[in-house]
Amino acid sequence: MPRQRQRSLKIGQTTWNLKTLFANDSDGRMEKNRELVKLKSYEFINAWKDRTDYLEDPRILRQALDHYESWKRTYNSDGDEGYYFWLRSHQDQNDPRIKARFNKIEEFSKKIDNDSQFFHLRIARIKPEQQSIFLDHERLAPYRHFLERVFAESRFYLSEPEEKVLNLKSATSYSNWTKLTSGFLSREERSIRTEDGTTKQRSFSEILGLMSSKERKVRDSAARAFNSMLSKHVDVAEAELNSVLANKKIDDELRCTPRPDALRHLADDIESEVVDALIRSVAKRFTISGRYYGLKAKLLKCGKIKYHERNVEYGEVAKRYPYAASVNLVHTVVGKLDREFADIFAGFIHNGRIDAYPKKGKDNGAFCIHHLMTQPTYILLNHTGKLHDVLTIAHELGHGINNELIKKKQHALDFGTPTSTAEVASTFMEDFVLDEILGKANDELRLAIMVQKLNDDVSSIFRQVACYRFEQELHAEFRLKGYLSKDEIGRLFQKHMAAYMGDAVEQSEGSENWWVYWNHIRYFFYVYSYASGLLISKSLQNAVKKDPAFIIKVKEFLSAGLSDSPRNIFLKLGIDIADNRFWDQGLDEVENLLNETEALARKLGKLRK
């Protein structure tokens, strides 16, 4: 077969073209758009707010949902203006006029949100007998999973007055607590050794970063300061965390949830048995992360890695990747996977959907954003030419491709991705682009990149699963004993950290307090989603590498949006994600990379004593 050569992409505009929304910040069409949003919103609200027949008759519910869907598709409560000023505020964070305009439209949309809330709430309160009639009714088939999601949440609702009390009390009994320790820590400063050899005053977050400095004296000095800050606040954190755990226990008892992580799974549209299979499979292979740290200790020539040193970079990735070259590299890789991926990317490039370079006042992160189904997707980057920046293009493009595929197949109420699989497309593209870069790098560079990649994978998969198990035991122990001392919490924490890190990492003195600053344990059980997204992605990569035609199934999954739970979507493709073997395939990918990295290090003579 003749090989088709892909033409290289011409880079046009490297800032967002927002003209499909508005010409500029003072475009006269904004006023008209706002009037239209108001008109369409109250058309919907007034049509349904005094009716109850749609809560009984499936045919009428279908009409109501169609109306709701078409409103959500094009207008919602903020139309084009909300999206436009949101985007503008990320291009220019320092312009108070943009902030003011954004706040105004927020205020406008909040009123509509409140006035339209009745619709969702009333559907949620439909009686269970009626729910099953609706779910089985063919007229409602397009909205079946939307209804399932609403009904599933409502299973654990209390009565309206009870919900109101819980809501009013939630700041004082929960969220104020969670802000307490982090508030104290953020105000801390210490004098530490810096990379230019002098001693300087540094903030809590700067010290956190300096613990991964390549200079041992700097990172050790930062770690001493960090540990002293944590130990200063550990008593407060003990009281705080016990309150947070008690509050969660009370909520769970009131709502009769079957287990502490049940509401998280429900919100993420993932079955508990799927999460259990994931956690079990990863924990069974903690030997992979243990072996990785063993390799890293040898490469860093340090015997054992101290707890705070586990993210220290190995080697140097000095190669530079200009934007145009990076875009073309990513374009080629995704084009080899599937023609449509490359076309979507070319569309983004040609239509000004990507804001590429750092600029004063611009958001300094990276993201891919969508709002209404009828509005364009935009990507924000801060490309400086590092390897990481190339992978970021691939990552955000993955989200963008996911969006565009969903738009083609789903309606507005299923437009989106659940948290449990939100990072599948992004990491899928990222890993294939990294493979391409590795194929072209010399051995020293390859080793440095592979070690960094393993470090990221180990942190996203094994560390997060260890953290999840720590959380599970924390809630269980608290419910058994009624109160946990800082020593007990510290012992549990170290037990789970040691389990995934293995013998090569020291559970250094002071590290028993590192739970103090771990915020996500206060928000309960979401950390599994880092592992689920990446491992699903790796399992799919594994399948595509064995059979390139499998990409058809990957696309079906990426097109499905919120139309069913991830488990059911995969079942339709003949894959059971509640089966350990699915997760093992993803873990095999990490193990393969580890094997290759070890072999390369040996070949380069890095593993001799």
What gap in Å lies between CA 80 and CA 35, rounded to an integer? Answer: 12
Alpha helical stretches, state H, 410-522:
424-440, 443-458, 464-481, 486-501
- Helix pair 79-91, 29-48: axis angle to 10 deg: 130
Pick the closer one to Zn ion by CB: 134 or 428: 428
Residue 70's alpha-carbon distances to 35, 36, 112, 374, 412, in angstroms, are 17, 14, 16, 10, 8
3-state secondary structure 172-216: HHHHHHHHHHHHHHHCCEEEEECCCCCEEEEEHHHHHHHCCCCCH
Report the residue from 109, 182, 410, 426 that binds Zn ion according to the rule CB under 5 A.
Answer: 426
Shortest distance (Å) from residue 548 CB to Zn ion:
25
Q: Tell me phi and psi for residue 317, to 5 degrees.
A: -110, 90
Per CB under 5 A, the segment of 90-98, 141-149, 421-429, 472-480 that binds Zn ion is 421-429
Pick the closer one to Zn ion by CB: 108 or 367: 367
Per CB under 5 A, the segment of 130-138, 227-235, 310-318, 423-431 that binds Zn ion is 423-431
Pick the closer one to Zn ion by CB: 202 or 399: 399
The footprint of Zn ion on residues 59-78 (CB under 5 A) is none
Shortest distance (Å) from residue 429 CB to Zn ion:
10
Residues in binding contact with Zn ion, number by CB under 5 A = 1
Shortest distance (Å) from residue 506 CB to Zn ion:
32
- Three-state SS at 549: helix
Tell me the two tokens of residue 167: 């809501």
Shortest distance (Å) from residue 369 CB to Zn ion:
11
Shortest distance (Å) from residue 430 CB to Zn ion:
9
Per CB under 5 A, the segment of 129-137, 181-189, 424-432, 516-524 that binds Zn ion is 424-432
Per CB under 5 A, the segment of 105-113, 289-297, 426-434, 594-602 that binds Zn ion is 426-434
Q: Are strands 378-380 and 189-193 parallel, antiparallel or unpaired?
A: unpaired
The footprint of Zn ion on residues 117-156 (CB under 5 A) is none
Tell me the residue number closest to Zn ion, measured at CB: 426
Pick the closer one to Zn ion by CB: 305 or 531: 531
Pick the closer one to Zn ion by CB: 241 or 368: 368
**Residue span 380-419 as binding mask against Zn ion, x where in contact by CB under 5 A, dash where not:** ----------------------------------------
**Amino acid letter, 243:** S
* CB 335 within 8 Å of CB 342: yes
Shortest distance (Å) from residue 270 CB to Zn ion:
18
Pick the closer one to Zn ion by CB: 410 or 426: 426
Pick the closer one to Zn ion by CB: 181 or 426: 426
3-state helix, strand, coil in the chain (%, to 5): 70, 5, 30
What gap in Å lies between CA 467 and CA 520, rounded to an integer? Answer: 9
Q: Are strands 378-380 and 367-369 parallel, antiparallel or unpaired?
A: antiparallel
**Residue span 478-517 as binding mask against Zn ion, x where in contact by CB under 5 A, dash where not:** ----------------------------------------
Shortest distance (Å) from residue 557 CB to Zn ion:
17
Shortest distance (Å) from residue 395 CB to Zn ion:
6
Pick the closer one to Zn ion by CB: 426 or 563: 426
Residue with tokens 């904004």: 30
What gap in Å lies between CA 284 and CA 278, rounded to an integer? Answer: 10
Burial of 1 (0-12, 13-18, 19+ CB in 10 A): exposed
Pick the closer one to Zn ion by CB: 221 or 403: 403
Q: Contact residues for Zn ion (CB under 5 A)?
A: 426
